[in-house]
Amino acid sequence: MSWLTRLYPKSWRARYGREFDVLMEDVQPSWSGTLDVLRSAMWARFQQMDWRFAGAFALTGLLLACVMTWRAPDRYTSSAELRLRSGRSLAEKAHWLRSAVLSRSSLDAVMREPLLDLYEAERQREPIEDVIARMKARDLKVEIAGGDIPVLRISYTGPDAWRSQRAVQSLLRRFIDEHLNRARPASGPGVLEVLQPPNLPDHAVRPQLWKGASVGLLLGLAAFFALAAIRRVPRAICCGVLAGMVAALLSYAIPRSYVSSTLVHVDSPQTGKLLRTDVPGVRLEAGAVPEERIVTARASNNREAQRLVEKALFVFMDPRAGWRQPTTAIDVIDPPSLPMHPVTLLFPLEVWFLLAGGVAGLTAGLRLKLDRPRNNPPSAAYKPA
Residue 343 lies in a domain: no
pLDDT the model gives residue 36: 79
Angle at 7 between CA 5 and CA 8, to 5 degrees: 75
Q: Are 139 and 158 in contact (CB under 8 A)?
A: yes
pLDDT the model gives residue 233: 56
Residue 178, classified by CB atoms within 10 Å of its CB into exposed (0-12), middle (13-18) or buried (19+), is: buried
pLDDT the model gives residue 201: 86
> In this structure, are 152 and 224 located in the same domain?
no
Residue 203 lies in a domain: no
Q: Which DSSP letter does residue 145 get?
A: E
CA distance 139 to 122: 14
For the chain, report the end-to-end CA distance as a whole number of angstroms.
51
CA distance 260 to 297: 5
Long-range contacts of 129-138 (CB under 8 A, 24+ apart): 129/104, 132/104, 132/107, 132/108, 135/107, 135/111, 136/102, 136/107
Residue 56 lies in a domain: yes
> In this structure, are 364 and 233 located in the same domain?
yes
Long-range contacts of 211-219 (CB under 8 A, 24+ apart): 211/69, 212/65, 212/66, 212/68, 212/69, 213/62, 213/65, 213/66, 213/69, 215/65, 216/61, 216/62, 216/63, 216/64, 216/65, 216/66, 216/68, 217/58, 217/61, 217/62, 217/65, 218/61, 219/61, 219/65
Q: Name the strand (E) or helix (H) holding 76.
A: strand 76-85
> In this structure, are 40 and 140 located in the same domain?
no
Q: Are 155 and 77 in contact (CB under 8 A)?
A: yes
Residue 134 lies in a domain: yes
> In this structure, are 241 and 360 located in the same domain?
yes
Residue 305 lies in a domain: yes
**What helix, strand, coil percent values describe the chain, rounded to 5?**
55, 15, 30
In Å, how far from its chain's centre is CA 334? Answer: 26
> In this structure, are 89 and 184 located in the same domain?
yes
> In this structure, are 94 and 129 located in the same domain?
yes
Q: What is the CATH number of the domain that holds 168?
A: 3.30.70.600
Residue 202 lies in a domain: no
CA distance 175 to 110: 12
Give the residues of the chain that fall short of pLDDT 50: 185-187, 377-385
Q: Are 17 and 9 in contact (CB under 8 A)?
A: no
Q: What is the CA radius of gyration of the chain?
A: 32
pLDDT the model gives residue 234: 64
pTM: 0.58
In Å, how far from its chain's centre is CA 355? Answer: 20
Q: What is the CATH number of the domain that holds 274?
A: 3.30.70.1130
pLDDT the model gives residue 383: 46
CA distance 259 to 302: 7
Q: What residue numbers bound the domain in which 174 lies? A: 76-196
- Strand partners for 297: 260, 282
- Return phi, psi of residue 266, to 5°: -110, 170
Q: Which of 213, 167, 273, 229 is nearest to 67 (CA)?
A: 213
Residue 156 lies in a domain: yes
> In this structure, are 1 and 39 located in the same domain?
yes
Instruction: Count structural domains, the chain.
Output: 4
What torsion do the CA atoms of 101, 112, 331, 339 make, to the nearest 10 degrees? 120
> In this structure, are 227 and 288 located in the same domain?
no
> In this structure, are 55 and 118 located in the same domain?
no
CA distance 197 to 190: 20
> In this structure, are 109 and 138 located in the same domain?
yes
Residue 272 lies in a domain: yes
CB atoms within 10 A of CB 294: 16
Q: Which DSSP letter does residue 335 get?
A: P
> In this structure, are 221 and 355 located in the same domain?
yes
> In this structure, are 271 and 324 located in the same domain?
yes
Q: Which DSSP letter does residue 256 get?
A: P
